[in-house]
């Protein structure tokens, strides 16, 4: 596997004229995980989108080596297509032949994505992420909508990704059961 790295230097994120958090810095190498913790509305999702390159920071910068994949509330699966076709589309785009994680979707492959439950949609998004071949996973509230069984399966998939030298950054207000994970409390980065 190729080495990977993700670093943020003195990041501040803004929503309109309001600075949400500032001074967020970290460096991660293969096998490491970071939990961006804090209550709803503090800026966890904005920070994840900055790391993904989808938003610009108010100041600071991000550096990365290795492909990144994002799993957030914007599922990136065509709601009108059967789940199997929607996942196959991303397999062709990613052309990665990535590891597959079992999220119990086999019986749902002919169901249009829009008809899936909240938990099934989250499992589909996580399956797409796992098959992407990306070395850096950015996960925004990955356990939302999952029951205890699938929440544990999601965390096991993250651990497997790390064991293969991948990086995981998880923004969540929920506690996580990942081993040797660093945590940044965004409450400590308020302006």
Q: Compute CA distances 150 → 16, 122, 147, whole Å.
A: 36, 10, 6
Quote the CA–CA distance of 189 and 43 in Å, as a whole number: 10
Report whether pLDDT(98) > 60: no
Please tell me the total count of domains within the chain. Answer: 1
Quote the CA–CA distance of 174 and 24 in Å, as a whole number: 20
pLDDT score recorded for residue 158 = 97
155 Cβ contact partners less than 8 Å away, ≥ 6 residues apart: 143, 176, 177, 178
Report whether pLDDT(96) > 70: no
- Region 93-110 average pLDDT: 83
pLDDT tens for each residue of 1-22 = 688 999 999 999 999 999 999 9
Report whether pLDDT(97) > 70: no
Report whether pLDDT(95) > 80: no
- Region 108-114 average pLDDT: 97
- Region 33-51 average pLDDT: 96
Q: Where do runs of H (alpha helix) occur along 78-166?
A: 83-94, 118-130, 148-163
Q: Strand 68-71 and strand 136-140: pairing?
A: parallel
pLDDT score recorded for residue 112 = 98
pLDDT tens for each residue of 114-154 = 999 999 999 999 999 999 999 999 999 999 999 999 999 99
Per-residue confidence band for 94, with pLDDT thresholds at 50, 70 and 90: confident
| Chain centroid offset of residue 96 CA | 18
CATH code where residue 154 lies: 3.40.50.300
Closest-CA residue to 25 (of 45, 52, 3, 6) = 6
Domain extent at residue 140 = 5-189
């Amino acid at each position: 596997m190729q080495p990977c790295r993700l670093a943020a230097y003195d990041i501040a994120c803004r929503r309109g004229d309001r600075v949400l958090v500032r001074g967020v810095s970290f460096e991660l190498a293969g096998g490491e995980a970071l939990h961006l913790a804090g209550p709803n509305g503090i800026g966890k999702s904005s920070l994840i989108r900055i790391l993904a390159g989808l938003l610009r920071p108010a100041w600071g910068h991000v550096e990365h080596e290795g492909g990144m994949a994002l799993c957030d509330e914007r599922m990136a699966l065509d709601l009108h297509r059967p789940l199997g076709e929607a996942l196959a589309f991303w397999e062709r785009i990613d052309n990665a032949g990535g590891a597959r994680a079992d999220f119990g979707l086999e019986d749902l492959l002919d169901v249009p994505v829009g008809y899936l439950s909240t938990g099934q949609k989250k499992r589909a998004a996580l399956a797409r992420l796992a098959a992407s071949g990306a070395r850096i996973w950015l996960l925004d509230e990955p356990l939302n909508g999952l029951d205890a069984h699938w929440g544990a399966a999601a965390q096991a998939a993250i651990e497997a990704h790390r064991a293969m030298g991948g990086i995981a950054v998880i923004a969540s207000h929920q506690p996580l059961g990942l081993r040797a994970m660093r945590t940044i409390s965004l409450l400590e980065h308020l302006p």
